[in-house]
Structure 1
Amino acid sequence: MQKSEKNGTNVDEKNMKLIEETSKEWWDPYGIQIGLHAMNPLRIGFIRDGLISTGMIKAEDRNKTDVLKGIKILDVGCGAGVLTEGLGKLKAHVIGIDPSEELLNVAKDHIKGQSMNVKYIMEYIEEHSINNSDKYDAVVASEVVEHVPDPKALILEMVKCVKPNGSIFITTPNRTYISWITTIIAEQLKFLQKDSHDWNQFVTHSEVEDILKEKNCKTVSVRGTIYYPFFNKFTFFPYNGMHYFLHAVKQDSKKQK
């Protein structure tokens, strides 16, 4: 795939339109995004524990309802806000950006009446990084890099936004023959929206690590995950060939000198 000729940004317009068709169903925990909702507790916990491991938050605060209080997080490709809200409920200050106005409208409607420090902006990461370099304690792209024409460009823009010693979190399917088969099965069983995922766009964890290393980011954790559809449960798994969570830390170049 090539970058969109329409706007020159790293967006697959056809894929975005396809996903927008189900925008009204995003907040149904047993609808088209059933897997995303099942994944949410695991990915929120991964982000929380990753920030504990870097000393960004205290280990003794792990189970507090405001454990992410004061933490600034950028959620890239936030969609209708399933993860964004989950982080906001733990009192993080979260900015969710997405190029889809339709998905963001759903996200904004869902957050009405709730007391949390969450803001949604229709913006490309290329635009956001211009005025927000070295700003965030954590930058997250969850189930996003497999949807863009140029995953490397997306990851490099994410790195710009995170502050030194801050964290980058990525969750995405791996590109293996096993993930090719499981993606087909998931679509057939309607646990994934049909044609919403192109296996050729999947990125391996080693490729992500190499991209991050170019910008002085050290990968500190890669964990395989698996979804048990008939139990509607996501959990960590010893094998990362189907799907993985990755945590990297942006090194402080000043301290290294």
Structure 2
Amino acid sequence: MESSKKNDYNVDVKNMKHLETVSEEWWDPSGTQILLHSMNPIRVDFICNGLISTGMIKAEDRNNPDVLKGLNILDVGCGAGVLSEALAKLNANVTGLEPSEELIRVARDHIKGQSLNVDYIAEYIEEHSINNPDKYDAIVASEVVEHVPDQRAFLLELTKCLKPNGSIFITTPNRTIVSWLLVKIISEYVLNIIQRGSHDWNHFIRPSEVEKILEEKNCKTVSVRGIWYTVFLNVFNYLKYTGIHYFLQAVKQDNKKQK
């Protein structure tokens, strides 16, 4: 049953309903969610390399098929599970959190018959953080922050669920004139590779803003990398310039070790 408190939570209900209209197309790699599928390899690469940099996994295990074995990862705003599944296939214990019950249904349907350790939950991060403090080795919010009404509150909720020495991984568009042109105008209205009306440029957030918010809860940003999408190859690559779209990793400092 859908929560009667929906409007009390930090969710853009209009945007969520907008995404639900294409729920059945979510797993079509050439459909409306083409960019999520195309972004998956570089998202997984950034997460794995980030966890190596903090000693959460060993560098020599980087190319092992079970490189994330034993790690508890929370994928917040998981949609229908494109990234959650990819992480689970590397043997992580994945919790996919998503307020849309329709998208969770599609995600659960897609893992039927697969031996993957994924638990999909139709729940708000505000609810989840209460019962799961300091639980996860890594938390991912990929292509989510730009859709949240109160970004500061959302980011602070993420930190509550993270273990000391654990990492938060954010992927999101930057708020620049360049991103407005390329992400909002060209990608949505010229090339039609992003669902029209799914983004509000005013809700794009700069990496310096994310960094400042996370520092409030002792989470130190350790990496920010730009990415670029090559349309005719349908592939994402890293880019030194972060003004279009960026990946960010922050690590929760262990206060006990600092004393």
- Residue 230 of structure 1 aligns with an amino acid whose one-letter code is F
Contact map agreement 1:25 1:32 (CA 8 A) in 2? yes
Q: Which consecutive residues of structure 1, in runs of 5 or more, have no partner in the other structure? A: none
Distance 1:6 1:211 in 2: 25
Query: Aligned partners of 2:61 and 2:124: how far apart in 1?
Result: 34
* Residues 170-207 of structure 1 deviation map (CA, whole Å, 9 limit, x = unaligned): 00000000000012100121110000000000110000
Whether 1:56 and 2:56 are equivalent positions in the alignment is yes
SS in 2 for 1:195: coil
- How far apart are the structure 2 equivalents of 1:190 and 1:228? 14
Matched residues in 2 for 1:234 and 1:251: separation? 31
CA contact (8 A) 2:7 2:13 kept: no
Aligned partner of residue 243 in structure 2, secondary structure = coil
2:246 is matched with which residue: 227, 244, 247? 244
User: How far apart in 2 are the matches of 1:45 and 1:153?
Assistant: 28
Aligned 8 A contact 1:51 1:167 in 2: yes
1:46-195 correspondence runs (5 A): 46-182=46-182, 183-188=184-189, 189-195=191-197
Q: Which amino acid aligns with 1:9?
A: Y
For 1:28 and 1:39, locate their aligned partners in 2 and report how far apart those are by CA, in whole Å. Answer: 14
Q: What's the CA shift for 1:7? A: 3.0
Letter of the 1:17 counterpart: K
Which consecutive segments of 4 or more residues in structure 1 shift more than 2 A? 4-7
Contact in 2 for aligned 1:187/1:194 (Cα 8 Å)? yes
CA distance in 1, matches of 2:203, 2:97: 21
How far does residue 226 in structure 1 lie from its aligned partner after superposition? 0.8
Alpha-carbon displacement from aligned partner over 1:1-32 (angstroms, at most 9, x marks no partner): xxx98531000111110111011111000000
Match of 1:218 in 2: 220
Q: 1:79 is matched by which residue type in structure 2?
A: G
C-alpha contact (below 8 Å) 1:191/1:229 kept by paired residues: no
Q: Which amino acid aligns with 2:18?
A: L
Q: Does 1:33 align with 2:33?
A: yes
**What does the per-residue CA deviation read over 1:212-245, in whole Å, with 9 as the maximum and x for residues that have no partner?**
1111111000000011112101110110000000
TM-score when normalising by structure 1 = 0.97
Task: Show the counterpart of 2:255.
Answer: 253
* 1:6–1:99 CA distance, 2 compared to 1 (3 A): closer
Alignment length, in residue pairs?
254
Q: Does the 8 A contact of 1:209 with 1:219 survive in 2?
A: yes
CA distance in 2, matches of 1:68, 1:5: 35
Q: Please state whether the residue corresponding to 2:66 is helix, strand or coil.
A: coil
Which of 201, 204, 220 in structure 2 is aligned with 1:202? 204
* Whole-Å separation in 2 of the counterparts to 1:86 and 1:221: 22
Alpha-carbon distance in structure 2 between the residues aligned to 1:178 and 1:5: 37
Deviations 1:125-153 (A, max 9, x none): 00000010100000110000000101111
- Root-mean-square deviation over aligned CA pairs: 1.1
Deviation at 1:256, TM superposition (A): 1.2
Percent of aligned pairs sharing the same letter? 70
Residues 224 and 246, structure 2, Cα contact 8 Å, conserved in 1: yes
SS at match of 1:7: helix
| Counterpart code for 1:195 | G
